[in-house]
Structure 1
């Protein structure tokens, strides 16, 4: 079935550094090799290097562990601050931007849904 596949993320070996405190593993890519799904790990105190601009796709982030701070006041799960604890789903529309960070460290599953069609596992 061409439109359905599965892969163990542990079988995907390559990780890269976004910054000294943030690493990523590409789980899925589009036909051109651009990431479509990633596992991203923030060390405690890590801040995204610069503004994260969603220019070519919306972004959906599932917080697997720890607490992600979106960097945008009022966008957290309590609608007061920007905290998104484990179990949170954070969605950002295309054209938005922010500078995420984590005081405690966190692990995220990050998806770009507008780039999904025709993508494949990064194994």
Structure 2
């Protein structure tokens, strides 16, 4: 769509922008002072507590996953790893998941010892 004018220069013929009718919007994010006035905690205060809870639960979940996998494959190796990770999780205040991981790891090892002659 380019033409050359009388001086030899190239001219671009663009369509006018006026014929487009677009609707635009922007997201509105509350400022810090507005959040404080609403009674909510600032984001910076929530982060250390969330990190501590996530660390506890992630160790417990890891131990539990190891113990559950030990029921399916490599019961001696993964069961022992699940027991060790479960003890570590219990010491890190993830007591419920740690106890479950220890119990499932022990059950997996004991079951594999009794059932291995039959496989």
Alignment TM-score, normalising by the size of structure 2:
0.22
Greater Cα radius of gyration, structure 1 or 2: 2
Alignment TM-score, normalising by the size of structure 1:
0.22
Structure with greater strand share of residues: 1
